[in-house]
Amino acid sequence: MQATLRTLPALLAIALILSACGKTEHNNATPTVAAPATSVADLAAKAQVKAAAASLPQADTATPSASYVDISSGNQLMYSYIALSGVPPDYAAVAQRVSREYAGSNDAFRKQEVLDALKPQIDAKVSEAKTKRYLRYQINGQGALSPYAMDKAAFPAKFAEAGTYYYMYDNGDYKLAFTNGDGYSLLKVDQEAARKIEAARSGYKDFAIIVYAYAQEADMASNQVKAQIVKVAIKLNGQEIPVQQAL
C-alpha cells in the first residue's frame, strides 16, 4: 500500500508532462503563417503580370467606337498575329487557311500558281492589320456573367479571367487573350439595366458582352494575340449598355 502511494506523485508528474507535450503538438499543427505567405505570393504574381502588361504598347482610350474592327473570323486574328510578330508570313500556311483551291489541289504547279497570286493579298492583309489594332469582340453573355451580387452592386464576370482565350471555328489556330482581364472581374451598370440583364441571364435569354480591345503583342508560344481591354459593354435587345469597372 505504501509503495502504491509513493508512485502516485510520480504518475501525476508524468501525466502533466504528457499533457503539456500534447498541447504543444496541437498548436504547431495549425500554423498561422501559411495564409499570409500564399497571399504575398499571389500579390507578387499579380504585380508581375500588371508590370508586364504595362510595358506593352498602350491604347488611346479616346479612340471612338467606330474605329474598332469587328472580329468575325479567325483569319483576322491570324493576320493580326503575323503583323504583331514581326516575322515574315508563312505564305503556304496562310494559303492553306484562306484558299480552298490551294488546300484542295494536289497539283504542285497549280498550287504554286495560286500561292503566287495570293502573296500580294496576304501582304496587304498583314499591312492592314498593322494599322488596325483596335478590335471589337463579341462574347456570349450566358456563362460569362455570374448572378448579380447585391453586396457589390455588380455582376461578377469570368470572360477575361487569367488563362481564358477565344478562337473562331473557321481558323482555331490563332487565339485572342486579354492582358488586363483582372480589372474586369466585376461589371457595374445602373440599377434599371442590372435588372434587365439579370432577367436575361437567369432566363437563359440571349445577350452579349462586347469587348473593345487594343492588340498589343503576339505570343509566339501560344499563337495568341494579346490585347488590352479598353472598355466593355453589355448588348441586350440590340442596344449596348456601357459598363463601369467595379474594382
Q: For position 54, what pLDDT does the model report?
A: 75
Q: How many helices (H) and strands (E) does the chain have?
A: 7, 10
Q: For position 44, what pLDDT does the model report?
A: 56
Q: What is the reported pTM?
A: 0.79
Residue segments in the chain with a per-residue pLDDT below the cut of 50: 1-37
122: burial class by Cβ within 10 Å (0-12, 13-18, 19+)? buried
Angle at 229 between CA 69 and CA 188, to 5 degrees: 115
Q: For position 52, what pLDDT does the model report?
A: 67
Q: For position 13, what pLDDT does the model report?
A: 45
CB 122 within 8 Å of CB 81: no
Q: For position 19, what pLDDT does the model report?
A: 46
pLDDT digits (tens, 9 = 90+) for 95-107: 999 999 999 999 9
pLDDT digits (tens, 9 = 90+) for 177-215: 999 999 999 999 999 999 999 999 999 999 999 999 999
Helix axis angle, 91-98 relative to 108-131, nearest 10°?
90
